[in-house]
């Protein structure tokens, strides 16, 4: 089953949006199989954003991610990687569509509340990076037959 990694960034936690963000993914019909609040080490933040290492915003981004707790989550469902990205919205909150998380609740690219894996392979890498196998709990939602044919 397809999985994605979603992190509520420090601004999402500080602004009290953890419940709202989780609720949007839950209500859509995806299954939460991993959830933890954590202080992120510099090493983990740098590894997570390694693809952006050479970009001018990298140091500031890492500083931000380690500055306060985040909530790391793993979600399961058919098409969850691309769908979660749609629910999250465009990277720049000012161009993110209303109705998306970033579009509804943020105004600045450096404070855009949430991270979501951008492809299935990225999701696999990120889930391995953030969660031990035993921290993930697959389960069968009772409403499954009402969600999917
Ligand atoms: N970012 C930034 N300034 C930029 C571009 C990106 O601060 O000019 C931050 C922003 O928080 C973004 C993260 O770096 O969410 C990762 O960038 P990416 O292009 O991967 O966007 P995402 O996948 O999060 O939409
Ligand atoms: Mg990205």
How does pLDDT run across 14-66, given as a tens digit for each residue? 999 999 999 999 999 999 999 999 999 999 999 999 999 999 999 999 999 99
The predicted structure's pLDDT at residue 20: 98
pLDDT at 128: 98
Report field, pTM of the whole predicted structure over 0.95: yes
Tokens 């397809």 found at: 2
Q: Which residue has the tokens 């997570």?
A: 48
pLDDT at 58: 98
- In percent, how much of the chain has pLDDT > 90? 100
User: Is the separation of the CB atoms in 49 and 103 below 8 Å?
Assistant: no
Catalytic residue among 3, 9, 24, 115: 115
Tell me the C-alpha distance between 142 and 108, whole Å. 39
Q: Is 72 helix (H, G, I), strand (E, B) or coil?
A: strand
Distance 118 CA to ligand 2 centre (A): 6
CA distance 53 to 76: 29
> What local confidence, expressed as pLDDT, does residue 25 receive?
98
What does the CA dihedral 106, 107, 113, 115 come to, rounded to 10 degrees? 120
User: Where do we find the tokens 């952006």?
Assistant: 52
């Amino acid at each position: 089953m397809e999985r994605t990694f979603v992190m509520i960034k420090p601004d999402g936690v500080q602004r009290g949006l953890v419940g709202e963000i989780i609720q949007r993914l839950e209500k859509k019909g995806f299954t939460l199989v991993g959830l933890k609040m954590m202080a992120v080490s510099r090493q983990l933040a740098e590894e997570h954003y390694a693809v952006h290492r050479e970009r001018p915003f990298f140091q500031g981004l890492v500083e931000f991610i380690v500055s306060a707790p985040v909530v790391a989550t793993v979600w399961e469902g058919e098409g969850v990687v691309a769908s979660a990205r749609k629910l999250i919205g465009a990277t720049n909150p000012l161009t993110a569509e209303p109705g998306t998380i970033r579009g509804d609740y943020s105004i600045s690219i450096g404070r855009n509340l949430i991270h979501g894996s951008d492809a299935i392979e990225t999701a696999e890498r990120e889930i391995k990076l953030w969660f031990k196998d035993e921290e993930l709990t697959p389960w069968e939602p009772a409403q499954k037959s009402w969600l999917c044919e």
